[in-house]
Homo-oligomer: A and B are copies of this chain.
Amino acid sequence: MQNNIINNWQIENGEEKDVVLSSRIRLARNLKEYKFPNRSDIKEKTKVINYLRDKIFYLKDQNYDFYLMDNLNEIERNVLHEEYLISRNHVQYPNARALFLNNEKNISIMINEEDHLRIQILKPGLEFNNIWNEINNLDEQLEENLDYAFSKKWGYLTSCPTNIGTALRASVMCHLPALVLSGKIDNILGAVGKFGLTVRGVSGEGSNSEAELFQISNQITLGFSEKEIIEKLESVIKQIIAEERKSREYLLENNFLKLKDNVLRSFGVLKYAYHLDQSEALKYLSRIKFGQDTNLIEEKLDKNLFSKLLFKIKNAHLQYDSKEKLDIEELNIKRAKIIRNELNKE
């Protein structure tokens, strides 16, 4: 794997970036002439990889690196997973699975996941329109050379019936510290379900997200056009953004002191701690982002500090450039050091 595997999309700017860290759309596609991955053997899967390899390499606009999961070690696969570029199954069952990744590392095409192709584009901020245009364009280019499994009645066919139709899943990662702090998060998340959307805490269960990060995505793929699905999701997200901002204002007006103290202590701890487990680090980093977005922190900090560190401090990323296998204590020390160095930059 190339040394520059750690991607950069997360440190760019994007719309609504005080609340929305990133947006992602993925399309599931299958080839008509091959058995779907959940029903095919290694031989057939290998044929699919070889077949797609040529087609994708010659796509215009982008250059892709190609990775056979079997040729990567577990740490490399985990790095890709931590960056949301491959699934957990691609890490755990690498046999006859592959990945195409563009140079910017925001377009990934997984081969032989649940479906033959899982095409994904990630961008910082709330950027569904741009992502949709790009992914739709990419999908059309692929379709020129590939024969997709498609039914006029059902739309795109997928291994799992919950994906058929558009086979589109759009999601955002939102930072909702004020909704968490004010205890409103559970109500909001409950309401979101009623709109046919799914929410889950990132690096945590349910509303118990370590970094106060939540992924919101569409549940329904059938019966609406792609545009309709995206617009519906976007409109709910905009309401959540408004609620989060309202809560921030409310907390700043009514709990200024407690907030400022909490944020600055988190800053102090991260600036000096010598040993940080992932969960603690995420918790404090979340407070620092909150402090930056609300101007509670006066120090001049990189405004993309959070999204930048969010990946760099995860275990596989920490392990990646070490020659030796690090134990948990060594990981915690290295994590603390990376954060210290970042926060002590002028």
Contact = CB atoms under 8 A, between A and B. Distances in A.
Interface in A256-271: 257-258, 260-261, 264-265, 267-271
Contacts of A270: 268
Contacts of A272: 264-265, 267-268, 271
A273 interface: yes
Nearest to A273: B265
Contacts of A35: none
Contacts of A275: 257-258, 260-261
Residue among A257, A265, A336 having the largest count of chain B Cβ atoms under 10 Å: A265
A333 interface: yes
A333 B257 CA distance: 9
Contact of A261 (B264, B267, B268, B273): B273
A329 interface: yes
A154 interface: no
A199 to B, nearest CB: 32
A58 interface: no
Interface string A329-345: 10001001000000000
A275 B267 CA distance: 14
Contacts of A224: none
A20 B224 CA distance: 77
A268 B265 CA distance: 7
A250 interface: no
Find the residue from A267, A272, A275 having the highest chain B CB count within 10 A.
A272
B268 A274 contact: no
A265 B269 contact: yes
A268 B273 CA distance: 8
Contacts of A260: 274-275
A330 B264 CA distance: 18
A260 B270 CA distance: 14
A324 to B, nearest CB: 18
| A260, A267, A268: residue with the most chain B Cβ atoms closer than 10 Å | A268
B269 A257 contact: no
Contacts of A257: 274-275, 329, 333
A119 to B, nearest CB: 44
Contact of A273 (B264, B271, B329, B333): B264
A267 B340 CA distance: 13
7 contacts: A257-B274, A258-B275, A260-B275, A264-B272, A265-B273, A267-B272, A268-B269
Q: Which 7 pairs from chain A and chain B are nearest by CB?
A: A268-B272, A268-B268, A261-B274, A261-B275, A264-B272, A260-B274, A268-B269
